[in-house]
Amino acid sequence: MLPGSDKRRKVAVLGLGYVGLPLAVAMCEAGHRVAGFDVDAGRLCDIVAGRTGLVDLDHDALARALKRGDLVVTGEPGDLAACEVYLVCVPTPLRDGVPNLSMVLAAVDTVAETLAPGDLVVLESTTWPGTTEEVVAPRLRERTALVAGTDVRLVFSPERIDPGNREYPLARIPKLVGGVTRADGEFAAEFYGTFIDTVHLVSGAAEAELAKILENTFRHVNLALVNELATMYSGTSIDLREAIDAAATKPFGFLPFHPGPGVGGHCIPVDPMYLTRQTRRSGRCLRLVETAELINIGMSTHVVDRVTGLLNSVRMPVRGSRIVLLGAGYKPDVADSRESSAFPIMDRLHQLGAYIRWHDPLLGSVDKGPPGSRVADLDRSLLASADLVLLHTPHAEYVGSELLPAARLTLDAHGALRSRRLPNVHGL
């Protein structure tokens, strides 16, 4: 039970995207009352109508929470006045390669409008170690005269959601918590424990910030290793994916990572850059991490080279060729194209003179790529008329499709079709 109260809290969630909205629904299911805040009026309307596009969200639970009034969504800061817990769950993207905290600062300013002594503020947005104490705490004090760790509780607790991962829904993912004081962390840990199965308390906010960055930098570096090996063994008789699977039979000392057309999404391409940016400001560099970035970014060029090579093998120049790209999201079965390598690949092939068409059943109104290149429906004639099909993102709809055998040449960027042993399918 939380100090001085029962378990029922009035919570404000700022940012109702893939992190904030599932958190809001989970808290309502646990008995809390939630005010969800977002500056995007269209998103608020979609949430009320149940049109979120979030594959991991329990939409029935969302409807129940809205109907009961346990969840209200708003774009008015004044509607947060009765809240005693504030969760900041807004994006922290890169802008021209530089970490951008503008949305975090805007959210903190919104919190400051109604913050009261004794309240809890949690930053869930990924950022560099030191942000909570060196940026958020001073900002709150400047706006409210309230001191973090004394007048209000301030904590960093990183989001760890993996969109599309059915094995680990939100409640099963251990929650890291680090406060500017131990007491702040303990208070927040008890709060999260009302709707998360396992809460891990660390000694401070900076340790929690670094832990989050470390998780995704680990993946970034290991993906770079197998991606570089993919470029080395491309077109040879050695099956890299089989070698990876073989190495993974060792029960210790090895974790399998698999090559692909690049790294995308909200974490892996972005989070390590927060760390390298901070390191450069101190006059040092993280050479391994920076090299991994170059390798992973370079995979889109490797894919283009591979497409060119496969076309050449059948005496077809890339200029004038007809290429169909399947799947433009950053990962299978997720409606998210952030940092996806699909669009740099398409743009480069278009520049080389290829005629590009692309299809993705999940991306809704996304209109990127060469002008007029997106197709709404996938049929046998489209694939049969293509000189090459690039399976960029192996959505389940594609992997089991009976249309793929119609393609003359297929480049399978993730090895998703290996078990089908289709003719004219090639790997990276």
* pLDDT exceeds 60 at position 371: yes
pLDDT of residue 340: 93
Whether residue 100 sits in one domain with residue 74: yes
pLDDT of residue 53: 77
> What phi, psi does 168 have (nearest 5°)?
-125, 80
Total length of the chain = 428
Same domain, 280 and 401: no
* pLDDT above 90 as % of the chain: 77
Alpha-carbon distance of 5 to 21, in angstroms, equals: 25
Largest CA distance in the chain: 76
Q: Is residue 24 part of a domain?
A: yes
**Do residues 166 and 224 both lie within one domain?**
no
Tell whether 60 and 191 lie within a shared domain: yes
Q: Which amino acid is at 176?
A: L
Q: Is 267 a catalytic residue?
A: yes
**30 & 167 share domain:** yes
**Is the pLDDT higher at 421 or at 395?**
395
Q: What is the pLDDT of residue 1?
A: 39
264 has pLDDT over 90 = no
- The 3-state DSSP class for residue 199 equals strand
3-state class of 135 per DSSP?
helix
Mean pLDDT value of segment 186-210: 97
In a domain, 5, yes or no: no
Q: What is the pLDDT of residue 383?
A: 94
Domain region containing 115: 10-203
pLDDT of residue 4: 43
Q: Could you tell me if residue 4 is inside a domain?
A: no
**Which of 54, 23, 46, 11 minimizes the C-alpha distance to 334?**
54
**For range 117-145, the mean pLDDT:** 96
Going through 363-415 in order, the beta strands assigned E by DSSP cover 388-391, 410-412
Q: Summarize the chain as % helix, strand, coil (round to 5).
A: 40, 15, 45
Q: Where are the alpha helices (DSSP H) in 314-358?
A: 342-351
For residues 59 and 180, state if they share a domain.
Answer: yes
Residue 6 is predicted with a pLDDT of 63
Of 297, 327, 356, the residue at which a domain comes to its end is 297
pLDDT at position 203: 96
Quote the CA–CA distance of 270 and 127 in Å, as a whole number: 10
pLDDT in tens, 66-111: 999 999 999 999 999 999 999 999 999 877 767 789 999 999 999 9
Does residue 286 share a domain with residue 224?
Answer: yes
Active-site residue among 28, 45, 267, 285? 267
User: Coil, helix or strand for 212?
Assistant: helix
Q: At what angle do helices 240-247 and 205-233 cross, to 10 degrees?
A: 130
Is residue 3 a part of any domain in this protein?
Answer: no
Least confident of 35-44, 155-164, 310-319, 382-391: 155-164
Give yes or no: residues 214 and 196 share one domain.
no
Indicate whether 399 belongs to any domain: yes
CATH of the domain at 368: 3.40.50.720
Query: Residue 105's closest CA among 153, 160, 142?
Result: 142
What the block records as the tokens of 285 is 């560099």
What would the mean pLDDT of 183-207 be, rounded to a whole number? 97
Among residues 203, 220, 238, the one where a domain terminates is 203
Task: Verify that 223 and 314 share a domain, yes or no.
Answer: no
Confidence of residue 3 (pLDDT cuts 50, 70, 90): very low
Last residue of a domain, one of 297, 328, 343: 297
60: helix, strand or coil: helix
E strands along 257-369, which residues? 322-326, 355-359
pLDDT level of residue 201 (50, 70, 90 thresholds): very high
The answer to whether residue 185 sits within a structural domain is yes
Q: Which residue has the higher pLDDT, 274 or 323?
A: 323
Banded model confidence at residue 332, pLDDT cuts 50, 70, 90? very high
**Model confidence at 346: pLDDT above 90:** yes
17 and 155 together in one domain: yes
In a domain, 19, yes or no: yes
pLDDT of residue 148: 97
Report d(CA 121, CA 89) in Å as an integer: 11
397 is a domain residue: yes
Instruction: Check: CB of residue 24 under 8 Å from CB of residue 137.
Output: no
Contact status, residue 325 vs residue 358, Cβ threshold 8 Å? yes
Residues 390 and 413 in one domain: yes
CB-based contacts of 72, cutoff 8 Å, min separation 6: 34, 35, 36, 66, 79
| 225, 133: one domain | no
Number of domains composing the chain: 3
**For the residues 192-206, what does the mean pLDDT come to?**
97
- Can you list the pairs that 75-82 forms with residues at least 24 positions away whose Cβ atoms lie under 8 Å? 75/37, 75/38, 75/39, 75/40, 75/41, 75/44, 77/37, 77/110, 77/113, 77/114, 78/113, 78/114, 79/35, 79/37, 80/12, 80/35, 80/37, 80/110, 80/111, 80/113, 80/114, 81/114, 82/10, 82/35
327 φψ region: left (φ > 0), alpha (ψ -120 to 50), beta (else): left
